[in-house]
Copies of this chain bind each other. A is one copy, B any other.
Amino acid sequence: MPAQNRPPSSGRSLEHPDRAEIRLEGVLHAFSDPMRLQIVRDLAAVEGELNCSVFDLPVSKSTTTHHFRVLRENGVVRQVYRGTAKMNALRRDDLESLFPGLLGTVLEAAGRQASRLAVPS
């Protein structure tokens, strides 16, 4: 039985805020941690969803779980179990509809700052 024909989530379910429950302050707070901003940038760099474990963060597994939960509870990412893996995807549509352009400008700002700091010059 091919994996892609099974139900996407095999049991465990995660709490996600509705679109209407997402708060700007919460989203900004989620973005304001370097670790989480990095996660969001990585997630934005690909189109689909990413396994939790592809992120190479300089913190322990527990801490990584914590940061993903903050992102989820503030409506930034959607998480779903797929076998033993937990897939993560940005909630692009919800964010764009609530706060047009915000994700884009933040990502661009993060990119600019990364370039700026990378070149001591």
Contact = CB atoms under 8 A, between A and B. Distances in A.
Q: Chain A, interface size: which category?
A: 20 to 34
User: How many copies altogether?
Assistant: 2
B29 A34 contact: no
Given A100-B108, A102-B106, A105-B102, A113 B23 contact: yes
A87 interface: no
Interface of A: 20, 23-26, 28-29, 31-34, 37, 98-102, 104-106, 108-110, 112-113, 116
Considering the complex of A and B, which 5 residue pairs feature the smallest CB-CB distances, nearest first? Answer: A99-B109, A28-B32, A29-B32, A101-B105, A105-B105
5 contacts: A20-B116, A28-B29, A98-B112, A99-B105, A101-B101
